[in-house]
Structure 1
């Protein structure tokens, strides 16, 4: 559709060097002065280099290369031909996770595989009850895991085309509105404020143009653009944020207007290159023989199916399940050999009992439910867990690589410091809401109340509010403490981030633009908008009768020559501005003058001369209120925090020092490094660094990826956080990728394992704490479940010696008793252990070594000690009932049916069932803490100063975890009906009611408690030091110092 005829602009820009451009202060941006190098070497480049290096190429040469006239644009036919040849301007669709893939995740682990085999064997032997129970366990695990993963995938938006749906383009010498998808290389695109840049463009014209590139670069301020700049070839690899003559797809025009020549579309844009990094790359074709390649593919597929590829916990448990499977086969062989290979149905069932006993059937269900509950807990803390395995893995993180803008900081600008002419100083602290003038505290050396202000401060506020196009407003009710300030959450703002910060400052002192105009009855006479070339803005308002007031703000070096003051005063002003800039502030200078209203101010030079200095303001993107504490928590937890940002090195250094990532603002010793310098290092040089940089500024996506790779080479477990498109490749490569939910791009969310719904860095610390809590609790219920399995195997294998008159081994426990203990008794209490709260010092210890995983030596020995002792007590109980009282009468065929001769065996089974059940329930409370006595457990924050509170502390402590408490109470209670209800006891569980045998049960439980408490007492001594996790040969740098001081 034709919009208008094309406005005049040069069709063939000159190749002569453009006029000099003022250098922008380091904190604000980068404008390279043009050099002859970019012109004299231009014709030596190959055609392929020209569009790739468009920022170092003169517009005239680029236009000739692309066969386009910058005034007329492409013809319709030419554009159609290029579109047919190169395809539409859009990103490739990202393959969504299918329902089948989500389902496949749930069954791809060794434990499910082992349980499936047990289920098949049970059904094949006609043991329908046991088979159905195991099938139910597998089903619960698959359903819970599937529902959780499916909900997580649905909670994150899929990748979308990150370009404007429509744009204005010059074709055939007219401006047309076309779909962005139809753009081709060579098109001339018109840009206006608010437009989304539809492709990568080399600017042809620019008028006060700036773009918001935060999603690409992470820089918090809009980047000023200048079409006339031609960067030298030596700057070919300069960061995207410093290419002042380019605008990139998916960025937003924050101010001004211009025209740009399309140099790249679709997947060839910078956004497209990042999207391409997220695609699963196909492996290079191997020269190996077909059989070798097929074997490798089969082996990889088998490892994936068995869960041997994945998170550390998943791999550890899968390996453990395969070990148990092999052990089950070995024990079954022992059972068969004991029967002299006369494998009758009875022998097969006994072998199956042993297999059931050694495999923790409820483990996978308990683990899945525990993690699912953890994800719900995290959701309440504004953390969406997309992949369940990431929650348990995050607790082992050693390093966090975080973006700055919007992650460590608010992503919005505030005025932090003001210097008023005459010596006044104002500082703003602890601002949590950048748009709210009531947020934060004011530290001032001036009288700030209206009516008490100095003339200098009043003029300062007038400049801040009136030389400003931003609006700050609220429709809420007024605050009780001020008749002019609305309540806290009501404020909104429109305009440039810098001007919003200034307007909020003025409104803080009841002198916002609206108030100032009402009070002074001023009228706007003239406005000279901000010009990126001269870096200042000026306005003229009516003043006192017969006068006009001119207010000016801009870069300090831009205003200094215009001030009517001495050279010494200029040097003093410049020194104060530089001191503020070194602290990471963007500094603006304020000035004004009053002139006779007869003076002609239509010429900008007349308005902006002989100005009176009014003061300086320092603006920055502040850290979130929680960030500094979150960083300190990470450091106390042995986790090193790195800042990887696209912002300038001065800003990055200042913020890093403020939040505690570094100890000083000054760069040095490799602590703070520019992205370009880091990228120049080879892998060997990076690996030779004593420590990796804590701050890398002006990062490219490649820089972040190389940083993650460097951490991996140092055996670190890396978290990458971010919100921009530029973070996405590193998010995917990192061990755990965490994207921001509010300001995060769709690409970042798609690549991440977790999404922060509140964009708060402190939420990451909560996720790590939850991950550590989960890791601790997994160890607790692993000890409980595996001790149960060891006890049962001990009982059944030694129980082979219990033979009846026919020489058949008698079951000390029936198959259903075993399944009941494994699933009904153990599963709820194991889940209760999974819900145990975090220990108080959980974030004051180093990350657990990934090389060791959950199966530490302490866990292995604990489960063995507890399991063997409980198994021995069960054997003792069986022996006492059968041999101590009943003379060793084991009857006949007592595994198949009940006869009068089986009375002793069936009563002994009930006794063993009671001992095993009660011992495991007590053990659940014992393993709440691996070393503290059960009778010395304390709740944090409680007063235990009196003797009575110390003695009776165990009750409230155990009741604190109500799920575990009532699971144990239910376990104690339910055993009685199982033993005493007729038919249920005899026909289902193969045991009989007992009486005096409860004394045997009680005695065994007392002995078990004594064994557990003695073992813990030994571990609190020198034995505990020997059982402490042995450090691997290489300790990740973040955790090394913390582990050296780990208390035992």
Structure 2
């Protein structure tokens, strides 16, 4: 067999396993050695499929220009240069370049971060090297590697199967066939050109394992795989998107699509809102310019045109793009520190407005480290594990045996007393098990080669590899020296078939041959799944059901253990129905997954924040209810009517129509025996109620619910690759409290966006008010004299305001951020409160700036209103312009200092500057602590204060660039305006506190006031 032009094998499906292993110089049982794998990785390169287009700096650069604010600034820049106002044009050019550079750097870093998430969103895999199973990144695979596959895995490369048990894969990506394809390792095909979908002994890269497990040899990696060849065709034959659009759309449709893209109207909801807002500001700027021209009877000379542009510039927050980009980047990094990886930036604006969280139980609300807490045998014996400190240590804790009808006693605490009656039960939970538990001090770990599990955890000196449920059962059996190795040596049992666990049947069965010639069939699973298969009287079944209900009520996950001995028959291996028919019940295992220590506090935090927490789990309803009570999802203060629907089985929920679900007062807080389709219905029901929800998931079948939810969150440790790919966020610790951290960070980010937008708009409104009323200040020729020069306006907007806004974007979360109701995502950042506040503060600031200008102009020096056009104080400094320039400097200083004060005032929309953090400190020095709390903002204010003086006093710069001059007694006017402004804002906030006091108190006093 020769390699083809792509460097892979022409037709590995026509080779036997031995032939392929010989050709690839590998071992079909033990895999490659580490050194050989490293050599091949250097020779053939990483197992990576290159996308149709890589990370394009030009594409990211175009993204920075494609927004309304940048387009508006480019138009203003062009007009400035057109009228030969080179200073203003140069400043605006610098602003545009700064915005683009900042956005480019941040977006490039974000794209690189997302590329780096391939370890989470792209498949990792378990590979056997040097006879040891280990987990590696998929890109480190090489031809000849031996890969292990389990349900939910994305196949990391093209593989020729070596072994498999009920293995099926979804190859729709390659074949278009929507039905999973059953795979068989023992088949050797004859047709070299057989279609991919018919190659049942092969599995292909990017397909998904939907059932069973298996093992295969890598035959092709990277661009040599089947999906890699498709990617190569896309790279060589792809056409620009615009050309595809032009074939199917009209000219005006193409124009519309291109315009929306350029103006940023196809981005995230926040980006769309800001782009529309920028267009509104642009229209307002044009209107204000027309007003300026009209006030001068449309006698538009150079000065009037500059003044019109000046008013237009004043209404546009030039630094908004850069501040928003940096704030979003800081938010993603903060979430990463909180163990939340953001895969889609659009969710940053949604997660803070979440009203409902739908969470799985195992491993998220709980520790995911299960312990077999109680065992009940069919003869009435009960075993309890007491004081267990290490879940994986069989020597940790005591096992107390007792009769079901009597309390435990010292004489019944011996492990050996009931071992004979329990031996078959222990044999069953040991053999019907794929977990491996070993002492790291006593073993080398080579036995991990035969496992087919999803995680490896080391606690104390014991190593456990496998699913948490199977680990717990294996540890319990090992307390009695009943390990799989011990049993195999004792009775010579050999595994001949396995019917793996499947979510549709909720049970697992293994078949072992014995030297006597018969076989032992061992089954474990959910009681309702095994009950119809039992060969037992109804009385026994009723007894099992009652005991399972009792154990589940204690918060234990209950598994039924059954067995039968039967003559050997080939149908047992191939027909699951035959194998699992006529079982004899042995007993029940009650497993306990203790809640995480931080879960109860996180749930309570959600309730206080107005977020309803729902548990959607596959466990028994009584187990789920017990855990829900323990973590606080279900509280004891529920009314009788609320308690009726607070917990519900998935079957009962699915039986309801959409209308019946909508008629419920509240949606269930606990859904037990939950299927993936139930999760989708739950999300749809929440959306019909106007709620925004988080959905967590870890399995392949959770993907539809993750996509349908407003924010889908996958588990990074135990989640499947498919779930991670479908999710918006990934938890690196699978911890529910990390979700709450993400919500809190989302709220902080939303609050801060509101704060710096408010600050920037206050500045714009005050300047527009000042400049429009300033039209009344005219010389003898009825030409307006600028109260502020264009460069002063740009300085205030770009230098003073920008760093203050950035400091507000870095503001920490307010103490009350998680005791407020979620914000309405439909309204967005421009809430009614923000709109009212910006006009109120803007009017205060604008009025005080007008006062400062008028007082200096008409005060002690009496502004010489008989200025002639030859002494144009808008452009040149002469002696007669002294007062005009002093008034302009006073106005500039007043505006600058009021912006500095505003940065501290908008830290909270209702609390006083003198009592910003009442929960932490109060008293005469509370203001000092408030301003020092955000160091970046503090130094931005200090820098803004200090730099005002050289701007006013440096010769030439003040006259030529800023069109103002040095001042003296006018500082008294400036500081009087600052004091008046603080007083006005504090009175305004006091009125708001009084107005909204009852509303805020009513919400704070009802922590569980969720709407759903």
Q: What does residue 737 of structure 1 align with?
A: 712
Q: 1:156/1:307 Cα in 2 relative to 1: closer, same or farther (>3 Å)?
A: same
Deviations 1:309-365 (A, max 9, x none): 554433332232222111111110011111211211211111111111111111221
Determine the C-alpha separation between the residues in 2 that align with 1:819 and 1:640.
Answer: 46
Q: What does residue 369 of structure 1 align with?
A: 326
**1:717-796 aligned within 5 A:** 717-796=692-771
Whether contact under 8 Å (2:686, 2:692) holds in the other structure is yes
Specify which of 114, 125, 137 is matched with residue 72 of structure 2. 114
Specify which of 293, 313, 317 is matched with residue 336 of structure 1. 293
Q: 1:566/1:710 Cα in 2 relative to 1: closer, same or farther (>3 Å)?
A: closer
Q: What does residue 674 of structure 1 align with?
A: 650
Determine the C-alpha separation between the residues in 2 that align with 1:398 and 1:182.
Answer: 45
Determine the C-alpha separation between the residues in 1 that align with 2:498 and 2:769.
Answer: 84
Q: 1:884/1:704 Cα in 2 relative to 1: closer, same or farther (>3 Å)?
A: same
**1:392-411 aligned within 5 A:** 392-403=349-360, 407-408=364-365
Determine the C-alpha separation between the residues in 2 that align with 1:710 and 1:561.
Answer: 33
**1:311-460 aligned within 5 A:** 311-403=268-360, 407-408=364-365, 413-419=370-376, 426=384, 435=392, 453=414, 455-456=416-417
Specify which of 913, 916, 932 is matched with residue 911 of structure 2. 932
Answer yes or no: is 1:1008 the counterpart of 2:981: yes
Specify which of 936, 944, 953 is matched with residue 971 of structure 1. 944
Distance apart, 1:198 and its partner CA:
7.2
**1:861-880 aligned within 5 A:** 861-880=836-855
Determine the C-alpha separation between the residues in 2 that align with 1:819 and 1:128.
Answer: 11
Q: Secondary structure at the match of 1:617?
A: strand
Q: What does residue 856 of structure 1 align with?
A: 831
Q: What does residue 474 of structure 2 align with?
A: 503
Number of residue pairs the alignment of both structures matches = 836
Q: What does residue 156 of structure 1 align with?
A: 117
Q: 1:917/1:462 Cα in 2 relative to 1: closer, same or farther (>3 Å)?
A: farther
Distance apart, 1:864 and its partner CA:
1.5
Q: 1:536/1:115 Cα in 2 relative to 1: closer, same or farther (>3 Å)?
A: closer
Determine the C-alpha separation between the residues in 1 that align with 2:529 and 2:305.
Answer: 92
Determine the C-alpha separation between the residues in 2 that align with 1:441 and 1:394.
Answer: 45
Determine the C-alpha separation between the residues in 2 that align with 1:318 and 1:347.
Answer: 29
Q: Structure 1: where are the runs of 5+ without partners?
A: 6-91, 168-177, 184-188, 208-247, 258-265, 268-281, 479-485, 542-549, 593-599, 604-610, 1032-1037
Mean CA deviation greater in 113-122 or 698-707: 698-707
Q: Secondary structure at the match of 1:928?
A: coil
Answer yes or no: is 1:824 the counterpart of 2:799: yes
Answer yes or no: is 1:799 the counterpart of 2:757: no
**1:957-1036 aligned within 5 A:** 957-1022=930-995
Determine the C-alpha separation between the residues in 1 that align with 2:550 and 2:820.
Answer: 39
Determine the C-alpha separation between the residues in 1 that align with 2:392 and 2:53.
Answer: 38
Q: What does residue 212 of structure 2 align with?
A: 253
Answer yes or no: is 1:130 the counterpart of 2:102: no
Deviations 1:620-661 (A, max 9, x none): 666555444434433332223345567777776666566555
Whether contact under 8 Å (2:774, 2:784) holds in the other structure is yes
Specify which of 573, 581, 585 is matched with residue 557 of structure 2. 585
Distance apart, 1:367 and its partner CA:
1.5
Distance apart, 1:910 and its partner CA:
1.6
Determine the C-alpha separation between the residues in 1 that align with 2:398 and 2:271.
Answer: 49
Determine the C-alpha separation between the residues in 2 that align with 1:561 and 1:752.
Answer: 37
Distance apart, 1:1011 and its partner CA:
1.0
Q: 1:810/1:585 Cα in 2 relative to 1: closer, same or farther (>3 Å)?
A: same
Distance apart, 1:957 and its partner CA:
2.3
Distance apart, 1:567 and its partner CA:
11
Q: What does residue 437 of structure 2 align with?
A: 472
**1:904-919 aligned within 5 A:** 904-919=883-898
Determine the C-alpha separation between the residues in 1 that align with 2:533 and 2:107.
Answer: 68
Q: 1:96/1:751 Cα in 2 relative to 1: closer, same or farther (>3 Å)?
A: farther
Q: What does residue 711 of structure 1 align with?
A: 686
Specify which of 889, 893, 900 is matched with residue 879 of structure 2. 900
Answer yes or no: is 1:493 the counterpart of 2:493: no
Q: What does residue 194 of structure 2 align with?
A: none
Q: Secondary structure at the match of 1:885?
A: coil
Q: What does residue 229 of structure 2 align with?
A: none
Q: 1:441/1:149 Cα in 2 relative to 1: closer, same or farther (>3 Å)?
A: farther
Q: Secondary structure at the match of 2:923?
A: helix
Distance apart, 1:991 and its partner CA:
1.6
Determine the C-alpha separation between the residues in 2 that align with 1:860 and 1:613.
Answer: 69
Whether contact under 8 Å (1:474, 1:492) holds in the other structure is yes
Distance apart, 1:122 and its partner CA:
2.8
Deviations 1:767-802 (A, max 9, x none): 111111111222222221111111111111111111
Distance apart, 1:884 and its partner CA:
0.5
Distance apart, 1:462 and its partner CA:
7.3
Q: What does residue 36 of structure 1 align with?
A: none
Distance apart, 1:154 and its partner CA:
0.9
Mean CA deviation greater in 333-342 or 526-535: 526-535
Specify which of 231, 240, 263 is matched with residue 306 of structure 1. 263
Determine the C-alpha separation between the residues in 1 that align with 2:540 and 2:720.
Answer: 47
**1:562-581 aligned within 5 A:** 575-580=546-551
Q: 1:834/1:442 Cα in 2 relative to 1: closer, same or farther (>3 Å)?
A: farther
Distance apart, 1:464 and its partner CA:
7.7
Q: What does residue 221 of structure 1 align with?
A: none
Determine the C-alpha separation between the residues in 1 that align with 2:755 and 2:538.
Answer: 73
Q: 1:498/1:327 Cα in 2 relative to 1: closer, same or farther (>3 Å)?
A: closer
Deviations 1:2-28 (A, max 9, x none): 5489xxxxxxxxxxxxxxxxxxxxxxx
Q: Structure 2: where are the runs of 5+ without partners?
A: 1-13, 19-48, 126-137, 145-154, 172-178, 187-206, 217-224, 227-240, 444-456, 501-506, 515-519, 570-582
Q: What does residue 143 of structure 1 align with?
A: 104
Whether contact under 8 Å (1:1018, 1:1024) holds in the other structure is no
Determine the C-alpha separation between the residues in 1 that align with 2:739 and 2:382.
Answer: 40
Mean CA deviation greater in 798-807 or 630-639: 630-639
Deviations 1:382-430 (A, max 9, x none): 2222333321221111233445565555566542434588875636799
Distance apart, 1:702 and its partner CA:
5.6
Determine the C-alpha separation between the residues in 2 that align with 1:93 and 1:700.
Answer: 36
Over aligned residues, Cα RMSD in angstroms?
Answer: 5.6
Q: 1:391/1:586 Cα in 2 relative to 1: closer, same or farther (>3 Å)?
A: same
Determine the C-alpha separation between the residues in 1 that align with 2:254 and 2:441.
Answer: 64
Whether contact under 8 Å (2:621, 2:647) holds in the other structure is no
Q: 1:452/1:152 Cα in 2 relative to 1: closer, same or farther (>3 Å)?
A: same
Whether contact under 8 Å (2:123, 2:156) holds in the other structure is no
